[in-house]
Amino acid sequence: MEQIPEGEYSVIIPGKSLNELSKIIGDSSSPVHIVMTNQQVLIKTSSVSFYSRLIEGIYPDTSRLIPNEFNTNVTIDGKALFQAIDRSSLVAREERNNIVRFTSLEGNVVEISSSSAEIGKVEEEIQTTLIEGEELKTSFSAKYMMDALKAVGGQDVMVKFTGSMRPFIINSVHDDAVLQLIVPVRT
């Protein structure tokens, strides 16, 4: 394996590889050594040597996708939101796209809802800590939203919207290091 000279590099490692690596090394605190070639990366700890192919190309500039200004900000218990979306998705799963609707209501309340022609409709209201800005009604993939909420943890989250059909972001109220971007779905 011919090594690339030391320095700063930008590479794309497949997400599946990183997920597998995270399962293998877990929460280990031992040092990690990374060796790269033009097509592969070797990630080495004291007990594991993990090889992965690199994806060719340049990673897209995602900073343009992340909105800077927001029309509606919702601060809510992430665990309560996750559970409501999970329950609503049980009905939505019967449809082919598993779409859940999110509606801001008066009195710092949001409504999570979904419907299925065969099963019926579910609507659940959740009290929020705060809703600032314009009223909002949007729809999104229950799976993607639940994955995003898992990533920020079961704590208070801020969901920031620029409009009903524009991408929105989710991050923790206590730690803004993790940011999740969700693209709404037209219904």
CATH assignment of the domain containing 32: 3.10.150.10
Please give the DSSP secondary-structure letter assigned to residue 178.
-
pLDDT-derived band at 78 (thresholds 50, 70, 90) equals very high
Q: Please determine, for residue 149, whether its predicted confidence score (pLDDT) is greater than 80.
A: yes
Q: Residue 96 phi/psi, 5° resolution? A: -75, -15
Query: Is residue 20 in a domain?
Result: yes
Q: With 0.75 as the threshold, say if the pTM is over it.
A: no
Q: Which helix (H) or strand (E) holds 96?
A: none
Convert the pLDDT of each residue in 50-66 to its tens digit: 999 999 888 778 778 88
Q: Please determine, for residue 94, whether its predicted confidence score (pLDDT) is greater than 80.
A: no
Instruction: Specify which residues 90 forms β-bridges with.
Output: none
Q: Indicate the average pLDDT of the chain.
A: 87
In this prediction, residues 164-182 reach a mean pLDDT of 90
Could you tell me which residues come within 8 angstroms of residue 96 by beta carbon, excluding any fewer than 6 positions away? Answer: none
Domain extent at residue 22: 1-59
Query: Is residue 91 in a domain?
Result: yes
Domain count of the fold of the chain? 2
Q: Please determine, for residue 111, whether its predicted confidence score (pLDDT) is greater than 80.
A: yes
Q: Which of 2-11, 32-41, 120-129 has the least mean pLDDT?
A: 2-11
Core vs surface per residue 96-132: b (16+ CB within 10 A) or e: eebbbbbbbeeebebbbbbbeeeeeebeeebebeebe
Residues 88, 39, single domain; the answer is no
> DSSP string of 21-66?
HHHHHTT--S--EEEE-SSEEEEE-SS-EEEEEPBPS----GGGTS
In this prediction, residues 10-19 reach a mean pLDDT of 89
In this prediction, residues 145-173 reach a mean pLDDT of 91
Query: Is residue 187 in a domain?
Result: no
